[in-house]
Homo-oligomer: A and B are copies of this chain.
Amino acid sequence: MNDVDVVVVGAGIAGLSAARALTAAGKTVTVLEARDRVAGRTFGGFLSNGVPVELGGQWVGPTQDAVLELIDELGLETFPTYAEGDGVMAYGGDVVRYDDPTYGLPSSSVAEVARLWMMIEELASTINITAPWETENADELDRSTLDQWLTSNTADPTALQFFRLQVPALFSAEAAELSLLHFLFYIKSGTSLQVLVDVEGGAQERRVVGGTHQLSERMAAELGERVRLETVVHTITQDDSGVVAAYEGGEVSAGYAVIALPPTLAGRLHYSPPLPASRDSLTQQMPAGSVIKFHIAYAEPFWRHEGLSGAAFSLDDAFNVVFDNSPPDASCGILVGFLEGIHARRAASLDADERRELVLSALVKYFGPKAANPFDLVQQDWNAEEFTRGCYGGRLGAGAWTSYGPALAAPVGRLHWAGAETSEVWNGYMDGAVRSGRRAAHEILTQLD
Contacts and interface: CB of A to CB of B under 8 A. Distances in A.
Interface string A135-152: 000000011110110000
A355 B384 CA distance: 43
A172 to B, nearest CB: 11
29 contacts: A142-B176, A143-B147, A143-B174, A144-B148, A145-B145, A145-B148, A145-B176, A145-B398, A147-B398, A173-B399, A174-B398, A176-B398, A177-B397, A177-B399, A234-B234, A276-B348, A277-B348, A278-B349, A280-B389, A281-B345, A281-B383, A281-B389, A284-B287, A284-B288, A284-B390, A285-B287, A290-B403, A345-B403, A345-B404
Copy tally for this chain in the complex stands at 2
A266 to B, nearest CB: 11
Given A177-B397, A268-B268, A270-B234, A381 B277 contact: yes
A402 B345 CA distance: 10
Interface string A283-307: 0110110100000000000000000
Contacts of A345: 277-278, 281, 403-404
A312 to B, nearest CB: 24
A267 interface: yes
A386 interface: yes
Contacts of A349: 278
Contacts of A264: 284
A274 interface: yes
A120 interface: no
A284 B144 contact: no
A399 B281 contact: no
Query: Which of A144, A173, A278, A398 has most chain B Cβ within 10 Å?
Result: A398
Interface string A177-188: 101000000000
Contacts of A390: 281, 284
A342 interface: yes
A176 B342 contact: no
B383 A280 contact: yes
Interface string A112-151: 0000000000000000000000000000001111011000
Contacts of A177: 397-399
Contacts of A144: 148, 176
Contact of A399 (B174, B381, B399): B174
CB-CB nearest 9 A-B residue pairs: A277-B383, A284-B287, A176-B398, A274-B386, A268-B268, A143-B176, A148-B148, A277-B384, A345-B403
